[in-house]
Amino acid sequence: MNRILYVITLIVSLTACSSGNDLPSYIDPSNRNANIGDDKHSKRIEIPALTDEDIFIAHTTFVNGAENVTYSIAHVPERKHCRWTAFTFDPSNRAIKWKRDNWDNTEWGGDPFQPNPEMPDNYVFTKQEINGNGYVRGHLVASYDRVYSKDANEQTFYYSNISPMHSRFNTGLWNDLEGLVQGWGRNSGFCDTLYVVKGGTIREGEYTQTGNCITIPKSYFMAILCRYNGRYKAAGFMFKHEKYLPGKLSEYAMSIDALEEKTGIDFFCNLPDKLEIAVESIYEISHWKGLN
């Protein structure tokens, strides 16, 4: 049996029940690299492997009386920057119910950027630090990723979700990929659940610092896992943090295995081992509508 056919057969045979609120009840207890500990949110499918440096926080809202995880972060206080952010698109949160222009009519007067209530202020950047160094406040979890409620959208404006970005990078290919991911995630004919991880590189040698010690990632990445009708597919993307990036999005795409090699992050570690190994080893451009 050739390798591609083997992976397809394996994926079909490992169809764990999953949703936007995946909990550890169905995770294979022999999973060698799954997150451990008492926090149920750290066991969700979209959450990468946590390290000793990380402060893990899952921001939640309530949808129709049920708790929904807006997004999660692994924050490194020493860098004042997230290692990654993670979230899902699924039937509970893919709807568009909040218009971001409505912030003009709130107490923040059109500027909803706020401190993270679960994070000490000295662990994150301030507006003055970012803007004063010539960068813009780049969302990791984009504002338009979370428009299923006012509360969810507000949470994307926490400074712990912000990274200093070149303005043209933020509005270039990075923005184009965000738009594609939003389209995939809101298309029920494309996915039941789309698991998304975003971040900037903050390991030693993979960032620069300004004179006032603001961490500037040298690259940004996304890891995408799609579940549809019990089948999985995945893709990784990595971009140098430059003011202008040439080429097409497909030129920056790769397998999750390749992205893990570049970032040192163990993505989708909570998948059963056999499924994780299979799905992370293959990237096929034809599986991703609109990617060229």
Residue whose entry in the numeric block shows the structure tokens 């003055």: 128
Residue-level pLDDT at 20: 37
Which residues are within 8 A (CB) of 256 and not within 5 positions of it... i.e. 6 or more apart? 223, 225, 234, 235, 236, 267, 268, 279, 280, 281, 283
C-alpha–C-alpha distance, residues 34 and 265, integer Å: 13
Q: What is the pLDDT along the chain (292 residues), one digit of tens a residue?
A: 333 333 333 433 343 333 333 433 344 556 889 999 889 999 999 999 999 999 999 999 998 888 999 999 999 999 999 999 999 999 999 999 998 877 887 776 777 888 999 999 899 988 888 877 889 999 999 999 999 999 999 999 999 999 999 999 999 999 999 999 999 999 999 999 999 999 999 999 999 988 777 899 999 999 999 999 999 999 999 999 999 999 999 999 999 999 999 999 999 999 999 999 999 999 999 999 999 8
Q: What is the pTM of this model?
A: 0.89
Domains for the chain: give ranges and CATH numbers.
3-274 (3.40.570.10)
Residue whose entry in the numeric block shows the structure tokens 């990075």: 174
Residue-level pLDDT at 28: 58
Tokens of 3: 């390798």
To 10 degrees, what angle do helices 3-13 and 273-280 make? 140
Residue-level pLDDT at 18: 36
